[in-house]
């Protein structure tokens, strides 16, 4: 229980008093519990008097990144959770056993719980034995839609309202800069799910909402607290959309939802990763220090994660929640790389949402307006394509299988035309052939999502390159076809890199292509080159089927591209540099030394080289000796490149 001031009013704890924020007078208060700093929640009997052993502490070390601040990665939202404990003089007396637990139980008992449906049921669910019409999914979708309308809102905790107000304050401080960044990123990526007109409508509605809510610009936090509470109230209920709504009304009607706030944060973070530094400098206000791109992206990751956690509390799921989850997963790949666990986990949550909402069924789009149906198809396609990309890159099973997706592919129309005037849409529809492609045969922005969907099907059904590697590994088949495919892939990739945009506008696409499509064939060629170096009399080389000179030139060019084309701030930078190091070590061995086995001219005892059916040399002892080249490297396990403790990397480093 807090102390009383001289006027009989309960006093505030020191962090709330210094921040001039309303305190709930609990011990510890809700704000200090939320910031995971209960030890700092101290009530002073005379806070304005000076004490010699008191130290000043700022309680504003959470997420504020307002005007004039140089955003760094250490300013992320998690920094407030890792500060050291205060000196003993500031720590409150020990609480009785079970006191903190009882407080949490009391808080939990006062919270309302939302009761959404468990989602769309399939033909093998427990309801299928009770309903004969559930096999097509349409009945289950209707039941789910009805249950969403009956969802009850949850009672919101004051600490969450405070945190939401801080998120809104971040947006308010530099909203004009963020607007420029969000729309300028389309010069560097496709972004067909949220084209510039749709994103401008969303940003404009948020700007209007913020400006209308603030009554005192010099002190906006009290107004933002009220706005945060109203956003929680709206977000705890499903969004009801009029079937006759227009595109402009649709993308402007939902600024007061945390899904959209989180979406904007994710878009800003992606823009910080995609835009070149000189573009950011052009958009930044004058007389401001340079913007820390990676720091801003890290802050946006934390902000969008907080918005997603809000919905873990309320239990409400919606199409807009799928939007922010998709953009959040994309931001994680840009910031941390495709090999990181976090984007893989976020994509799993997105796929779960799509299946729960039933968006993999054709019936979910049958009664929607045309623009919403096409937008939802693009959402499913973007998720499907990301799943195939990460599954291929990581060598893991895909989680979104084509045979369970019954939606039609999106039409070959740019989404900008879909949400434009009816005349523009009619003209675009007239240019389509009977198969949904544009009759001119030209590649347009509308072709990209449609092609991604079809390419995902191809990648799922047949991955010739991977199947050929498995064939070589398991049946000891000839590597001639595998080397030919890898050589052709690397040739085309180097041509694409050489023709990249001069200003770096397609930098992110090039980095993704290098890491996802370039490393596997380069790895196969490098390992095969090492095998041929140790076995110069092998049948494959003697038959002239191994273009050694061309492969060495291509690997040298590719290693240089890994070093100079991939920027340091790219999420896959570390992966590319590790691969570059391995390739250069192999090239140094091949070009700068002699074959340790072929030219040694003597036996090596227990470790004498033995040959398998393909004429590949290995050390009988199995260890990483001078002539060691593991036979299973031809399977090109991705970890063999990235793991410093792998036999391949340790063997290469042994010659330094």
Which 3 state secondary structure label does DSSP give 611?
A: strand
Say what percent of the chain tops pLDDT 70: 65
pLDDT for res 124: 58
* Residue 563, phi-psi category: left (phi > 0), alpha (psi -120 to 50), beta (remainder): alpha
278 vs 98 pLDDT, higher one:
278
Domain ranges in the chain are 1-55, 158-461, 477-597+608-653
Q: What is the pLDDT of residues 621-639, one digit of tens each?
A: 334 444 444 444 444 444 4
Q: Is the dihedral of CA 301, 304, 308, 314 positive or negative?
A: positive
**pLDDT of res. 498:** 81
- Predicted TM-score (pTM) above 0.75: no
Digit-coded pLDDT (tens) for 81-125: 333 434 444 445 565 666 666 665 665 555 544 445 566 666 655
pLDDT digits (tens, 9 = 90+) for 581-607: 888 888 888 887 654 443 334 433 333
Distances from the Cα of 4 to the Cα of 9, 32, 512, angstroms: 6, 19, 61
CA dist., res. 489 & res. 466, Å (int): 13
> What is the predicted pLDDT for the residue at 344?
93
Using the predicted structure, report yes or no on whether residue 60 has a pLDDT greater than 50: no
Four-residue CA torsion sign, 146, 149, 155, 159: positive
- Using one digit for the tens of pLDDT, what is the confidence trace for 121-179? 666 555 554 555 544 445 555 555 555 544 545 567 788 899 999 999 999 988 988 99
What is the reported pLDDT for 210? 94
Q: Which fold has domain 1-55?
A: CD2-Gal4 (4.10.240)
Number of helices followed by number of strands (H, E) in the chain: 27, 2
């Amino acid at each position: 229980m807090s102390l009383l001031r001289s006027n009989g009013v309960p006093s505030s704890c020191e962090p709330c008093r210094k921040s001039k924020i309303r305190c709930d007078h609990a011990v510890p208060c809700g704000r200090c519990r939320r910031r995971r700093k209960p030890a700092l929640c101290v009530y002073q009997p005379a806070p304005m008097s000076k004490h010699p052993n008191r130290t000043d502490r700022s309680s504003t070390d959470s997420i504020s990144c307002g005007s004039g601040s140089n955003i760094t990665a250490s300013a992320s939202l998690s920094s407030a959770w890792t500060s050291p404990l205060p000196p003993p003089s500031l720590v409150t007396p020990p609480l009785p056993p079970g006191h903190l637990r009882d407080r949490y139980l009391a808080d939990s008992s006062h919270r309302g719980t939302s009761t959404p449906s468990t989602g769309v049921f399939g033909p093998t669910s427990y309801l299928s034995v009770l309903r004969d019409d559930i096999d097509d999914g349409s009945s289950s979708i209707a039941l789910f839609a009805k249950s969403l309308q009956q969802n009850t809102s949850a009672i919101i905790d004051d600490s969450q309202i405070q945190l939401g107000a801080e998120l809104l304050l971040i947006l308010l401080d530099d909203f004009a800069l963020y607007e420029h960044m969000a729309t300028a990123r389309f010069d560097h990526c496709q972004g067909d799910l949220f084209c510039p007109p749709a994103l401008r409508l969303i940003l404009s509605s948020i700007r209007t909402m913020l400006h209308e809510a603030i009554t005192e610009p010099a002190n906006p936090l009290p107004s933002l607290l009220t706005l945060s509470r109203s956003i929680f109230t709206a977000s705890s209920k499903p969004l009801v959309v009029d079937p006759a709504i227009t595109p402009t009304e649709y993308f402007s009607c939902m600024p007061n939802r945390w899904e959209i706030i989180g979406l904007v944060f994710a878009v800003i973070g992606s823009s910080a990763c995609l835009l070149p530094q000189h573009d950011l400098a052009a958009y930044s206000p004058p007389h401001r220090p340079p913007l820390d791109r990676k720091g801003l992206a890290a802050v946006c990751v934390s902000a969008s994660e907080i918005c997603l956690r809000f919905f873990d509390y309320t239990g409400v799921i919606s199409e807009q929640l799928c939007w922010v989850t998709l953009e959040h997963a994309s931001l994680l790949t840009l910031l941390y790389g495709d090999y990181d666990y976090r984007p893989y986990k976020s994509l799993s949550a997105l796929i779960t949402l799509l299946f729960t909402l039933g968006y993999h069924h054709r019936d979910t789009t049958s009664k929607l307006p045309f623009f919403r149906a096409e937008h939802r198809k693009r959402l499913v396609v973007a998720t499907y394509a990301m799943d195939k990309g990460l599954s291929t890159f990581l060598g893991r099973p895909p989680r979104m299988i084509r045979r369970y997706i019954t939606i039609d592919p999106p039409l070959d129309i740019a989404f900008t035309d879909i949400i434009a005037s009816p005349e523009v849409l009619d003209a675009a529809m007239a240019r389509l052939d009977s198969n949904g492609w544009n009759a001119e045969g030209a590649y347009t922005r509308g072709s990209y999502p449609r092609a991604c969907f079809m390419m995902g099907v191809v990648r799922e059904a047949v991955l010739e390159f991977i199947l050929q590697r498995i064939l070589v590994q398991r049946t000891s088949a000839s590597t001639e076809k595998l080397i030919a495919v890898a050589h052709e892939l690397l040739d085309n990739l180097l041509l694409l890199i050489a023709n990249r945009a001069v200003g770096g506008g397609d930098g992110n696409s090039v980095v993704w292509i290098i890491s996802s499509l370039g490393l596997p064939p380069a790895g196969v060629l490098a390992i095969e080159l090492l095998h041929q170096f140790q076995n110069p009399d092998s049948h494959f080389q003697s038959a002239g089927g191994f273009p050694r000179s061309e492969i060495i030139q291509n690997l040298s060019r590719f290693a240089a591209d890994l070093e100079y084309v991939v920027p340091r701030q790219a999420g896959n930078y570390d992966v590319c540099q590790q691969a570059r190091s391995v390739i250069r070590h192999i090239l140094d061995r091949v070009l700068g030394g002699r074959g340790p086995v072929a030219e040694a001219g003597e036996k090596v005892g227990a470790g004498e080289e033995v040959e398998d059916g393909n004429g590949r040399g290995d050390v009988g002892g199995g260890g990483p000796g001078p002539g060691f080249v593991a036979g299973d490297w031809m399977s090109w396990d991705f970890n063999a490149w990235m793991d410093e403790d792998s036999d391949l990397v340790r063997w290469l480093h042994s010659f330094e």
